[in-house]
Amino acid sequence: MQTKEAIAREWLACLLRTYPGQSAGFLAAEQDPFRNPVGHTFHEALGTLLDELMADMHTGRVRAALGSMVQIRAVQDATPAQALEFLFQLKPILRRQAAGPDLDHLYTRIDQMALMAFDLYMQYRERTYAARTNEARRRIFVLERRFGPLEAAACQPEGTS
């Protein structure tokens, strides 16, 4: 079996292929965590997830690593399946490297991570939509305060209430 570092590099490469060309290149190449916080987060989180997958699967560490990645993926323009696909991309990588009952056990753990990630994804999406709703309400309130209820209604874009 390859080292964990090699598996993590291959897993990161699979994840980055979901991004457009220049973005993927930047996320992979830029090592400075301040210039590339997304790439740094992905690198660190995938390493932690791989460590936990191979060890005792401490729920708190898995949840924290998944949370940091899923929070980024939840605000991007992707379906839930596309956002969480990175977890299932690990299965073929492991299949090439290991076989037997250990592989089945690892697949079960990946599935557990996927369920946890889906819950986190939904929480972050709900927060995002709540923030957008609150911002729209705040704008309407400001318009109503500034112009009065009738003039504010005339200033609203069509389709918003």
Give me 79's structure tokens: 């379906």
Report pTM: 0.77
- Nearest alpha carbon to residue 66 among 6, 14, 136, 114: 114
- Note the pLDDT of residue 144: 78
Cα–Cα dist 75/126, whole Å: 10
Per-residue pLDDT tens digits for 130-156: 888 888 888 888 877 777 666 656 666
- Note the pLDDT of residue 82: 92
